[in-house]
A and B are shown apart, each in its own frame.
Chain A
Amino acid sequence: MNQAHSAIDPKLLEILVCPLTKGPLRYDQKNAELISDRAGLAYPIRDGIPIMLTEEARELRDNEKKKA
C-alpha cells in the first residue's frame, strides 16, 4: 500500500506524454516530477498520482533544461 502512495506505476509511465506537446517525459524520482523538455514544464506527482495539467506544472529553470 505504501508503494502505491509513494511511487508512480512504471507501466503508466510508458504511455504518458506531455499533454501540451505530446512529447516524451523524464521521470525525476527524487523530486517526484515528470519533466517535459519540449514544453519546459515539470508536472508534479502527488500521492503517487501524476498531475498532467499545464496549470499545475512548474516552469523549468534554465539550468534544469536538458542540453540537446
Chain B
Amino acid sequence: MEAEQNMNEDLVDFGFDQVPRDAKSGLVGEVFSDVAGRYDLMNDLMSFGVHRLWKAAFIDRLKPRAGMALLDVAGGTGDIVRAFCERISASQPAEKPKSDLGPTVRTASRAIVCDINFEMTVAGRDRAIDRPLNLKGAPTIEWVCGNAEALPVEDVTMDAVTIAFGLRNVTNRTLALAEAYRALKPGGHYLILEFSTVNEPLMARLYDRYSFSILPEIGALIARNRDAYRYLAESIRKFPRPNVLQTEMEAAGFGRVSYQLLSGGIAAIHSGWRI
C-alpha cells in the first residue's frame, strides 16, 4: 500500500507532485508523446548508457526459447522484443530442412508489444518495418495499444510477461501486477526491469545531483523538454524500494519472487512466477 494513497484516495504521485488519480495516465502520456522519438536517448542519459547492459541482463533472465509467447508491456520502443527475437533466432539449430514440407510443426514463438502510448507504438512498429530483423526462426513482432492495468489479452496465454522501465509510470501497480498474472500460463515468468534505489550514500548523493540538477538541463537542451526529464528523475525516487515491490508481487500471487540489483541499485530486475 502506498502511504500517499492512504492519506488521500484521489491523489497519486506524478513525479514529486500529487495529481488526481484520473489525470496521471494522461500526464504520463503527454511526457512520452513529447519524447517518443527520443526515448532511447532519454534512457541513455538517465542510465549513462548502461540501460543497454541492463536490458541484456534482463533478456538473460528471460531465457528466450523457441515456442515461447512473450507479452512485453509498455515496450513501445521494441528493445525487449527485438532482443528476444534475436536470442530465439540464435538458439535455432542450424539444421537443413528434412523435406520441402516446411519446418517441423510446433508451437510458434510470439512477441507482442502492448504500450499505452499510440505514438510510441507506431514509432516502434515503424522502426521494425524500416529495419527488419529478418531473423530465421524469429516471430514477427505484433503491436497493440493497451493499458498495463487492463491488458487486452486472453487469460493464461503467455509464457512470459515483461515490463521494462514501465511499471513506474503505471497509476495502479496492484492492477498491473494482477493483469500480468492473469495473462500468464501456470509456470509463466513475470520480469520487471525498473530504476531502483541507490543505497551507498556517496553514490546516492552523486546520482541525486546528476538527476535533479544536471539531467533536466540536458533534457532541456537535447529534447527541449525539461519537465519530462524532471518527471523522470522524480518518478524514479517515488518508486518503491525493491523489497517493497517484492512484497507487492507476492501479494499479487507470484511465487519464487526475487530481485537482483544492477549498477549499485540504479536499476533492478524483479522476477516472479505464476506457479
For A54, the chain B residues whose CB sits under 8 A away are 150
A51 adjacent to B125 (CB under 8 Å): no
Which one of A9, A11, A17, A50 lies within 8 Å of B145 (CB-CB)?
A50
B9 interface residue (CB < 8 Å to A): no
**For chain A, which range describes its interface: under 10, 10 to 19, 20 to 34, or 35 or more residues?**
20 to 34
B150 adjacent to A51 (CB under 8 Å): no
Please give the distance in Å from A59's CB to the nearest CB on chain B. Answer: 17
> Which chain A residue has the least Cβ–Cβ distance from B69?
A15
Please give the distance in Å from A10's CB to the nearest CB on chain B. Answer: 10
Which one of A4, A19, A47, A48 lies within 8 Å of B152 (CB-CB)?
A19
Considering only residues 5-60 of chain A, those with a C-beta below 8 Å from chain B are: 9, 11-12, 15-20, 22, 46-54, 56
Considering only residues 153-196 of chain B, those with a C-beta below 8 Å from chain A are: 153-155, 157
For B151, the chain A residues whose CB sits under 8 A away are 19
B33 interface residue (CB < 8 Å to A): no
CA A11 to CA B141, docked complex, whole Å: 11
CA A46 to CA B117, docked complex, whole Å: 12
B12 interface residue (CB < 8 Å to A): no
B144 adjacent to A52 (CB under 8 Å): yes
For B270, the chain A residues whose CB sits under 8 A away are none
> Which chain B residue has the least Cβ–Cβ distance from A20?
B150
A49 adjacent to B118 (CB under 8 Å): yes
A52 adjacent to B145 (CB under 8 Å): yes
A18 adjacent to B152 (CB under 8 Å): yes
Given A19-B152, A53-B147, also A47-B142 (CB < 8 A)? no
A22 adjacent to B144 (CB under 8 Å): no
Taking beta carbons and an 8 Å cutoff, which residues of A are in contact with B?
Answer: 1, 4, 9, 11-12, 15-20, 22, 46-54, 56
Of the A-B pairs whose beta carbons lie under 8 Å apart in the complex, a sample of 27, sorted by A's number, is: A9-B142, A11-B142, A12-B144, A15-B112, A15-B154, A16-B152, A16-B154, A18-B152, A19-B146, A19-B147, A19-B150, A19-B152, A20-B150, A46-B118, A47-B122, A49-B118, A49-B121, A49-B125, A50-B145, A51-B145, A52-B144, A52-B146, A52-B147, A53-B116, A53-B145, A53-B146, A53-B147
Taking beta carbons and an 8 Å cutoff, which residues of B are in contact with A?
Answer: 110, 112, 116, 118, 121-122, 125, 129, 140, 142-147, 150-155, 157
